[in-house]
Structure 1
Amino acid sequence: MLAALVWTLWLSLGAILEWPASEPVAADAVIVLGEDPGHRYLRGKELLLAGYADTLMLILPLPHVLGDATGNLKGVAVHVDRSADSTWTEARVMRRWMEANGIRHVLVVSDPQHLLRVSYSWWSVFRSSGLRYTFVAAPTPEWSAWNWWHNKATAIGVGMEVLKLGYYVGRYRFGWGSDGHHGLCRPQSLVMPASSPAHHFAATMPAEYDANSWGLVLRSARYPSRVIGADLVESA
């Protein structure tokens, strides 16, 4: 009986990790989580082009992703965060960003096998906030919720997610190996003039901002704006 239970759990791991994923709904913004080679962004782009939202937040985007977003998403406000360095800090920083910008509901895009850990992090950070979020999966061609072990890289990824989820529960729920400081991140602001094109910001940003700034906001040239920290203010 125990062996059968363990075997069933093993076969179901992919589906369990993917369980928080939902169908997209209308929202205020799309958030593409970090460590994305491009497929998460493409799913987020699909959502934006389909009209689910008109604001995009990219966390630690690669240059080709940022270039496509600022060059091809006309009428979309593109925000970039370069401070969140883990799934947990992504949740904390995004809560502050949402509160600072009056955003009430977001679509959060990530890999299917990542979503259970994302869900645990966001539930822990966002509870009692009144803010809403919907998780949207961005699967790669090799992903299968019920045959995940057939691909070596996918199987390793699933195993790592299980280990990381256990670590998150141990650290953030029970405080194992923790210093006890899990409050919201304090953002750092970067002020940029409206006259500079968005692509120029990305190309010429000082190294210290590239590593640490929160609230870099880019806008397509068709919609010039004045940027103050994380706030987007329309030009006169």
Structure 2
Amino acid sequence: MMKGVPYLVAVAILALAFSLASAYDPSPLQDFCVAINNTDSAVFVNGKFCKDPIYVTANDFFFSGLNIPGNTTVNKLGSSVNLVKVDKLLGLNTLGISLARLDFAPYGLNPPHIHPRGTELLVVMEGTLLVGFVTSNPNKLFTKILNKGDVFVFPIGLIHFQFNIGQTNAVAFAGLSSQNPGLITIASTVFGSNPPINPNVLTKAFQLDKNVVDYLQKQF
């Protein structure tokens, strides 16, 4: 019976090592690493240079403006996302977290998209949202109607969406497990890439008429 213990310990250690090695945002090795564009006397950590701690101030950890509603009329989707990531809040560097405010006009949509580097935790502040995500294989949809105060999580790297099904504006806040979670919006990425994807590829992939593909590419 005891012979199996070292084996189990080894498996546990390997599993722990793998989990650490596969982390998306490395754990910081210091209290903070405020990002800075000036490379003089700076240290490059996790995609950014660190400001000398002597010159760090409280403002490096401060962002103002998430109380201001986003403009949902600037696009056809009727939605607006204000993501506070490391480029806007330099003190987020190496901390592995970011925050977003999402505003929706009535029937506004945050279209199917992916965050390749972050899990998203959403809380509804006002309104009613239909949300969901699709698993990788098999492609199973998990969907839910959320009301004020409800919380939903979208696992990292999976296609997900939020849709305002109410007749009033909706507001939600989302925390993401990366200082720079990334964004791949399915429709605009596929049909609006630069240079464009060969129409024959999209015609066959989506089983669409070429005229439809041409139309969709023009929309983006």
Shared fold (TM-score, shorter chain, > 0.5): no
TM-score w.r.t. the length of structure 2 is 0.24
Q: Which fold has the larger relative contact order, with Cα–Cα distance below 8 Å and residues 6 or more apart in sequence? A: 1
- Structure number having the greater strand percentage: 2
TM-score w.r.t. the length of structure 1 is 0.22
Is the radius of gyration larger for structure 1 or structure 2?
2
